[in-house]
A = this chain, B = another copy of it.
């Protein structure tokens, strides 16, 4: 963080304000404000005169000033890197609801260390957001404190199981999803089910997925000598490596459950490269149902959670709270769906 930008700058030709519009329309500034925000409270012809002027001059109210005096209208969000994940869809969902409700989305993204995270939250809070949506894991206690001291409602998009939200939460139970997929694979007759995820350390979603996977195996009476689990970066290359590593651990592994489609796609490519038939020689299951999943050869068996809906829902929760609804559920669990295709 460098020090804030330049000073007041040279006297740029200031865009004209409400006062000037008022003067030209021969009314008080307040009347212009009303014509814009509360048109019924102004007589039709004054209103017409004002709006015509506004239109002609291209007047755009200063939201900074407006938010200061009346309601806040920024919704701040902190997200992990947009690249390579369903995050983009979530942001899209958030964005859509925000705009439909007259809010603006202020976005902070990055790969957060606890320190950077605290800064990000500080930055967000400085803009007096009406609400906050956090999609990154809040780790630092300082950040937590900052958030709790604040007045803005907060929605975390997160694992909903075993996580006490700061305020509200929207998400799926990653435990359940992974449990369901693993059971599904067992039911399809697979005997040696491998599991890949990114490093789960400090990421409760992935942790829950792994626990769900393990629990499902346990419940179905599967027990392996060596755990068929690896941790790899969430890239196609990671998926390819998973094939390598898991077949080394146990050559008899017959399906790999990848905790992300990205991994799964990489794994599928690796099989092609080896000339392995999918799902006969090795089956692959993913998580996420990205666009490509259905088009992949062979089409990817995966698990769909509606990320776009999650983004929407998050903002909607915020809005309900802002509108003063009192019965807004603290935790909103969204559904999921196993998409059984060809790869497993």
Query: Which A residues contact B (CB, under 8 angstroms)?
Result: 1-9, 12-15, 37, 58, 60-65, 67-68, 70-73, 81-84, 87-89, 91-92, 95-96, 99-110, 120, 122-123, 125-128, 130, 145-146, 149-151, 235-237, 239-240, 262, 265-266, 269-270, 272-273, 291-292, 294-297, 322-324
Contact of A322 among B5, B89, B235 (CB under 8 A): B5
The 10 closest A-B pairs by CB, nearest first: A236-B295, A272-B297, A82-B88, A63-B126, A12-B151, A269-B297, A4-B102, A5-B71, A107-B107, A63-B127
| B88 engages A99 (CB within 8 Å) | no
The residue that A82 contacts in the complex, of B61, B92, B265, with Cβ under 8 A, is B92
Contact of A2 among B71, B102, B106, B270 (CB under 8 A): B102
Task: Determine if B71 and A102 form an interchain contact, defined as CB atoms under 8 angstroms apart.
Answer: no
Partner of A89, one of B61, B83, B103, B104: B83
For A95, A101, A127, the residue with the greatest tally of chain B CB atoms inside 10 Å of its CB is A127
Q: Given A4-B73, A272-B272: A99 and B105 within 8 A (CB)? A: no
Decide if A82 touches B82 in the complex (CB within 8 Å): yes
A99 touches B110 (CB 8 A): yes
Known contacts A104-B127, A146-B58: does B8 contact A236 (CB below 8 Å)? no
Q: How far is the CB of A193 from chain B (nearest CB, A)?
A: 23
**Contact status A149-B99, CB under 8 Å:** no
* Contact A5 B130, beta carbon cutoff 8 Å: yes
Residues of B within 8 A of A67 (CB): 64
User: Which residues does chain B contribute within 8 Å of A149, judged by CB atoms?
Assistant: 15, 58
6 sampled A-B residue pairs with Cβ under 8 A: A2-B101, A60-B126, A64-B67, A235-B291, A240-B295, A270-B295
Contacts A5-B101, A5-B322: A126 and B62 contacting too (C-beta < 8 A)? Answer: yes
Closest to A62 in B: B128
Indicate the member of A1, A88, A108 with the most B CB atoms within 10 Å.
A88
- Per the bound structure, the CA–CA distance linking A7 and B85 in Å amounts to 37
A5 and B107 contact, Cβ closer than 8 Å, known pairs A236-B291, A295-B236: no
Q: A6-B324, A146-B58 are in contact. Are A102 and B70 (CB under 8 A)?
A: no
Are the CB atoms of B99 and A292 closer together than 8 Å? Answer: no
Looking at the assembled complex, report how far the CB atom of A251 sits from the nearest CB atom of chain B, in whole angstroms.
21
Nearest CB of B to A202, in Å: 21
CB-CB under 8 A from A15, the residues of chain B are 149-151
Task: Report the minimal beta-carbon distance from A223 to chain B, rounded to whole angstroms.
Answer: 33
Residues from chain B with a CB closer than 8 A to the CB of A72 are: 5
Interchain CB contact under 8 A, A266 and B295? yes
| Interface contact B106-A71, CB-CB below 8 Å | no
A123 proximity list for chain B (CB < 8 A): 99, 104
Chain B residues near A64 (CB-CB < 8 A): 64, 67-68, 127-128
For A297, the chain B residues whose CB sits under 8 A away are 269-270, 272-273
